[in-house]
């Protein structure tokens, strides 16, 4: 059965994820280093891990399996989850799969190097309503495809995000 894992500490699309998970009847794990309010639902489970670097990431990576969906902007966590057969979406709706994760890791490392040398000082662009909309569409598509794959219907399907 497909499950959803939210890397929740800084996730701007928790509410959207709850709505989609509820509509599809999916168990959702909200994983964080601190107490986060979650809706009262038997399908939503709050997991508060001990404080520490990457503890929430480690918990998610250890629990996730094929056909699960992970919501995270953390590229190294995404790589670990993709290796387990999970579908990973970032909060803007970008799909991080086997085809995209290598480039995403390379870009992350490049940007980290540029920031550390002072070549880049600013962060990324702000989060918009269009980003939320793209995320919702990508998550709905991911849920449908993950369920089909888990049921063994056809070959693995690639998730193609909507055009920007």
pLDDT at 143: 95
Q: What is the dihedral sign for C-alpha 41, 12, 101, 47? A: negative
**Which of 5-9, 49-53, 140-144 shows the lowest per-residue confidence on average (mean pLDDT)?**
49-53
Domain at 4-150: CATH architecture: 3-Layer(aba) Sandwich (3.40)
Exposed/middle/buried for residue 31 (C-beta within 10 Å: 0-12, 13-18, 19+): buried
Give the predicted TM-score (pTM) of the model. 0.81
CB-based contacts of 39, cutoff 8 Å, min separation 6 = 18, 22
The bridge status of strand 87-89 relative to strand 95-96 is antiparallel
Express each pLDDT in 85-95 by its tens digit.
Answer: 999 999 999 88
Which residue, 134, 145, 161, 143, is CA-closest to 24? 143
CB 72 within 8 Å of CB 78: yes
> In whole angstroms, what is the distance from residue 79 CA to residue 54 CA?
14
Question: And the tokens for 36?
Answer: 């986060």
Which residue, 35, 58, 39, is CA-closest to 47? 35
DSSP annotation string for 31-75? EESS-------TTEEEEEPPSSTTHHHHHHHHH--TT-EEE-S-H
Percentage, residues of the chain above pLDDT 90: 60
Extents of the domains making up the chain: 4-150
Q: Is the pLDDT of residue 134 over 80?
A: yes
């Amino acid at each position: 059965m497909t499950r959803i894992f939210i890397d929740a500490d800084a996730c701007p699309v928790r509410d959207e994820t709850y709505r989609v998970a509820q509509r599809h009847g999916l168990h959702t794990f909200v994983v964080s280093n601190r107490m986060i309010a979650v809706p009262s639902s038997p399908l939503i489970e709050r997991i508060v891990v001990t404080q520490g670097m990457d503890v929430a990431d480690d918990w998610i990576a250890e629990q996730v399996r094929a056909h699960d969906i992970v919501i995270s902007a953390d590229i190294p966590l995404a790589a670990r989850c993709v290796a387990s057969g999970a579908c990973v979406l970032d909060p803007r709706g970008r799909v991080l799969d086997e085809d995209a994760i290598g480039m995403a890791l390379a870009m992350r490392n490049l940007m980290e190097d540029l920031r550390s040398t002072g070549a880049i000082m600013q962060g990324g662009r702000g989060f918009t309503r269009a980003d939320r909309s793209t995320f919702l569409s990508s998550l709905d598509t991911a849920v449908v495809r993950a369920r089909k794959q888990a049921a063994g219907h056809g070959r693995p399907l690639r998730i193609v995000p909507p055009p920007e």
